Structure 1
Amino acid sequence: MLADAEKNGPKPAPLIEAFRRTWGRMIIGIGAALLGVGGFFLMTTFIISYGTDELGIDKSVMLNATVIGSVVEIVVLVVAGRIADRIGAWTVCAIGGLVTMAVAFPAFWLVDTGKPALVYLGVGLGICALSIPYAPIGAVVSGMFPEAFRYSAVAMSYNLAGVVAGFVPLLATSLTGAANGASWGAALLLMVIAACTAAGSFASGSLMRRERAARPAGDRVEVAV
């Protein structure tokens, strides 16, 4: 890339070129990254207001639940990252999306009990599940794009995922209100977000294999994908 830049000069408007040439991959990247950001907002920002306003749980209990969940997340990030080194980053992301889909409703049911121990368990379970794909998502998104557009494309994928995720607590609040305070709307939203990440991760696996196969043999780096 440096040799090409010295010979032909820098590429004009790399962000525009990234959109023009890799917009489909960006959509996949947004989906793959969505759970790690949007799901976290749902299980921290939204869950506190839901527990206090809708269920009447003491705010200290909800805050403690998110702290416990954050501690659990640290452990999950380390473990999931090491597993990703062995079986592939996109595989771990896809598994994390599927696991989160499975625990979305049980996590909210536990919070709905209002009992502190079960609230801690529910929030911890939800954060634990969505942290699985968050660990290797950097390797997944960066591995999807050609080197010439990677920096701009990865940056936009992450940032657009963050923009979409910023509306998650508001949407969850609206769904809860439409359900007369029941948690099924928010749980369903978490399941949909997790499904987006699972689908994006599966699609990214195909793209990563294609990118790897397209590299000259001497330029390939042996990594598990």
Structure 2
Amino acid sequence: MTNTEPKPTKTALRRVVAASIVGSTLEWYDFFLYATASALVLGPVFFPTTDPAVGTLLSFATFGVGFAARPIGSIIFGAIGDRLGRKPALVATLVLMGVSTALIGLVPGYASIGILAPIALVVLRLLQGLGAGAELAGATIFAAEYAPRHRRGLFGSIATIGTYSGTVLSSVIFALFAMMPEATFMAWGWRIPFLLSILVIAVGIYVRLRLEETPEFKRVERADKTTKAPLLDMFRYEWRSVLLVLGIVAAPFTATYAYQTYSLSYMDTELGVSGATGTLAVAIAAFLAMFVVPLMGALSDKVGRRPILIAGTLISALFAFPFFMLLNTGNRNLIILAMIGGIGIGVPTILGVQGVLLSELFSTANRFTGFSVSREIGSILFAGATPFVAASLVAASGGQSWPVSLYVIGACVITLITGIVMKEPGSLSEPAAAEPTRPTHQDPA
């Protein structure tokens, strides 16, 4: 930002922090709430069949639909964020995600409206995915563009805290309502956690509508340098940054979905460990990660982004074998220790700097689209594929976990190489992967 622009007040910075946390908390509250409900209730409520396992598989399929919609959402809201401003995109994603989540809690079951029930569920899950595809990127960018230069790493990590607070919140709330009598819970109790997202929407909208547009976007807008084709410009001028993002997200995406998603299925099918044990371990690790993330973000303001990225990647790689060794004991305390090492320390060390890194890699004009679209491409390559690949590797090895550990290490090697070869990012106005001179997008006089 220029020297003539007033610095954001402490009140404005507090609003930015609140807006970032509320939005990302809602995103991941929705994500893990739906994942849990898919396993426990959505099958019999919306996909009744003679085989309960088939109903559960169909409900998991709707869970995957949300992932398919995320890249589309990143393109749509990335364009809004780069052309019209960060604030309109942030408000739109929050409303879309929150309303669609709440409506899931209102859709009648198959017994009431027949085939319309699963159709409505799929449509709402698609809308959820559209909003989620750009929410984290928008919240991170907003905080980073507002932050004082010497605290940008800390502010850039704020939205990531929400990924863990949302996990903890959804786990606790769903577990509380699951204590109801089974018949009551299946009849209507499961709907309340979905309806509670209305409260988060109300708070989030109130906070976000009171925000001013970011100083960085105002600067670009005044200079008439906002892009008219952000997706095209991203691939034309900043494709190197896209490649760097794919390298950066390889380790955290793969480790997260190996440790936090696949391992729950592995413990159930291969070890006979109850889902409650795994869920408790994930919740404890996620709670710890809420503190590790901002700590690493703040530390990156002092030592740089690359050292933190490299350190977190090394921790994740070195812990890949011990993680499953601890799980294989079947001991509850050792399983919790495994989750703490993988989810509570290794991955959040990387995620503590990932947000600000992805923000600093793109120019202001293309930042929203660059961040959100390239990250979602990475989610397809690494996040979405990991549970399936891990399950296939374990099946092929006769129930052994070591191939999954090697798979995680392979992804960590990609991120490690990326961290070594990339340059330390500069200011938000001067991205690390400098783009060639591009024509200024101006409407003809």
Per the normalisation by structure 2, the TM-score is: 0.45
Contact 2:361 2:433 in 1 (8 A): no
Per the alignment, residue 64 of structure 1 pairs with 280
| 1:158 aligns to 2:375 (yes or no) | yes
Distance 1:115 1:140 in 2: 38
Q: Quote the offset at 1:199 in angstroms.
A: 2.2
Contact 2:306 2:424 in 1 (8 A): no
Taking the TM superposition and a 5 Å limit, the aligned residue runs for 1:38-117 are 38-117=254-333
Per the alignment, residue 134 of structure 1 pairs with 351
Distance 1:48 1:145 in 2: 36
* Code of the aligned partner of 1:115: N
Distance 2:328 2:242 in 1: 37
Secondary structure at the counterpart of residue 109 of structure 1:
helix
Contact 1:96 1:198 in 2 (8 A): no
Distance 1:111 1:57 in 2: 9
Distance 1:199 1:140 in 2: 15
| 1:27 aligns to 2:248 (yes or no) | no
Per the normalisation by structure 1, the TM-score is: 0.85
Distance 1:126 1:115 in 2: 17
Label 1:19 to 1:120 Cα distance change in 2 as closer, same or farther (>3 A): same
Deviations 1:46-90 (A, max 9, x none): 010001101111222122111121122112113212211211122
| 1:175 aligns to 2:393 (yes or no) | yes
Q: Quote the offset at 1:3 in angstroms.
A: 4.3
Q: Quote the offset at 1:10 in angstroms.
A: 5.0
Label 1:213 to 1:57 Cα distance change in 2 as closer, same or farther (>3 A): closer
Distance 1:189 1:212 in 2: 29
Percent identity reads 25
Per the alignment, residue 217 of structure 1 pairs with none
Secondary structure at the counterpart of residue 238 of structure 2:
helix
C-alpha root-mean-square deviation of aligned residues, in Å?
2.2
Distance 1:155 1:146 in 2: 13
Secondary structure at the counterpart of residue 373 of structure 2:
helix
Contact 1:32 1:199 in 2 (8 A): no
| 1:2 aligns to 2:211 (yes or no) | no
Q: How many residues align?
A: 211
Label 1:74 to 1:49 Cα distance change in 2 as closer, same or farther (>3 A): same
Contact 1:35 1:193 in 2 (8 A): yes
Label 1:205 to 1:156 Cα distance change in 2 as closer, same or farther (>3 A): same
| 1:194 aligns to 2:407 (yes or no) | no
Q: Which moved more, 1:99-108 or 1:32-41?
A: 32-41
* Code of the aligned partner of 2:348: S
Larger RCO (alpha carbons 8 Å, 6+ apart): 1
Q: Which of residues 406, 417, 423 is equivalent to 1:205?
A: 423
- The structure richer in helix per residue is 1
